[in-house]
Amino acid sequence: MNLSIALYTLMLGIACDAFVAQLKPRSISGMGLNAARQPIMAGNWKMNPGTEEEALALAEGVAKLLGEETCALSDDEANEDTCTEVVIFPPFPFISKVKDTVEDIGLTVGAQNFFFEDKGAFTGSVSAGMVKSVGCEYMLCGHSERRTLFEEGDVNINLKVKKVVESGMKPILCIGETKDEFDLNIKKEVCAMQLSKDLFGVTKEQMADVVIAYEPVWAIGTGLVCGAEEANEVHVFIRECLTNMYDEEVAQQTRIQYGGSVTPESVDSLMAQPDIDGCLVGGASLVDEKFSRIVNFKKL
Ligand code: PEP
C-alpha cells in the first residue's frame, strides 16, 4: 500500500467512525415492537432477455410454476400478511405485456429505472408517471449498476426515492458496500451514509412504502453470497440506523431484502434470519424454476 492510499484509508476510517458515532443507534432490543413483515421477493431482469418473445416465455414460466402459491388474489385475508409478495422488474419495452401475463396470479411489476422530472426535453428518459400509467407499483432506486456504470450519485437517488413515494409508488432502495469498502471494514459506515443521504427528506409516513435492499456490491452477479448471519447482522444495523433517523416503529416495519447471487441453494438459510424479509434476485430470476423455488423458500 503506498503512502497516499494508506493516508486516505486512515482519513476515511476516522471520518466514518465519527459519522457512525454520530448515528450511534439507540438500543432496540427488547422493545417489543417486532412487527410481522410480509416477505417480498423481487426479480431484477436487468437488460435481459433479448426479445419480447423470450420475456413473455419467462413470464409465462414463472406464472405457471408459481400458480396459486403466491400472494394471489385469495379470499383468505388472514393470509395477506404472511404470504410472499412477488415483484418482477422487466426492461421497459416488456413491462406491459409481462404485467398482463403475471397479474392474474397476483404478481406485481416494477421499473428498473426512470428520470425524476415529470416530462419535457429529456431524450431517452421515462418518468415515474409514465411507468405508473402502465401498471408499475415498484421502482428500483440506487442499484449498484446504476451507481457505478451510470455514475448515479446519492443526490439523484434521493430525488428519485422522493419522486417514487410522492407518485404513490414504492421504491426498493438498494444500498451496500463495494469490495474495497468491505476490505476496509467500513460496510456499516457505507450503509449508514447511503441511508442518510438517500432517504433525506423522506417522511416517517412515506417510509411505510419504502423497501430497503442490502446488496453487498461484491456479491452481485459474482456467485459470492454473503453469509446469512453476516447479512443479518447488517440488516440489524440498518434497522438501528432507521431507529435513529425515524423511530423504532419505522425500523421494525421496514422490509429489508438481501441481494447478491441468491440461488435456490442459499435462499432458505437467508430467509431463516430474523431480519431478512426477502431477496432481490438478478441472475436466478431469469430461470423460471430457480426463481419460483426462491419465491417458495422453505421456512426452516
Ligand atoms: C441484483 O441485480 O440486484 C442482483 C442481486 O443480482 P444477482 O442476483 O445476479 O447477484
> Atom 4 of ligand 1 has which residue's CA nearest to it?
282
Q: Which amino acid is at 229?
A: E
Span from the CA of 2 to the centroid of ligand 1 (angstroms) = 33
- Helix (H, G, I), strand (E, B), or coil: what is residue 184? coil
- 215 as an active site residue: the answer is yes
Q: Is 13 in the pocket of ligand 1 (CB under 6 A)?
A: no
Ranges of the chain with pLDDT below 70: 1-35, 67-81
| pLDDT of the residue at 232 | 98
Contact 190, 177 (CB under 8 A): yes
10 Å CB burial of residue 89 (0-12, 13-18, 19+) is buried
- Based on the residue annotation, tell me whether 235 is a catalytic residue of this protein: no
> CA 207, 77, 43 angle in degrees (round to 5)?
55
Q: Tell me which residue has its CA closest to atom 7 in ligand 1.
A: 282
Closest by Cα among 99, 96, 172 to 138 = 172
How remote is the CA of residue 17 from the centroid of ligand 1, in Å? Answer: 29
Residues pairing with 85 in the sheet:
40
Q: Whose CA is nearest to atom 2 of ligand 1?
A: 282
Q: Torsions phi, psi of 275, nearest 5?
A: -105, 10
Write the DSSP symbol of residue 75: S
44 lines ligand 1 (CB under 6 A): yes
Helices (H) and strands (E) in the chain, counts: 12, 8
Among 205, 43, 51, smallest CA distance to 110 is for: 43
CB atoms within 10 A of CB 116: 20
Looking at 142-230, which runs of residues are DSSP E strands?
Answer: 170-175, 211-214
The predicted structure's pLDDT at residue 7: 46
Give the position of cell 423460471.
288
Do residues 259 and 281 lie in contact, with contact meaning Cβ atoms separated by under 8 Å?
Answer: yes
Q: Which residues contact 144 (CB under 8 A, 6 or more apart)?
A: 174, 176, 178, 215, 217, 220
**Contacts within 8 Å (CB) and 24+ apart, 142-151:** 142/173, 142/174, 142/175, 142/194, 142/198, 143/44, 143/112, 143/174, 143/215, 144/174, 144/176, 144/178, 144/215, 144/217, 144/220, 145/46, 145/220, 146/113, 148/217
Ligand 1 pocket member 216 (CB < 6 A): no
Which residue ranges form the domains of the chain, and what is each CATH number?
37-116+126-295 (3.20.20.70)
Could you report the per-residue pLDDT of 34-60, keeping only the tens digit for each? 458 999 999 999 999 999 999 999 999
215 lines ligand 1 (CB under 6 A): yes
Ligand 1: atom nearest CA of 143 is: 3
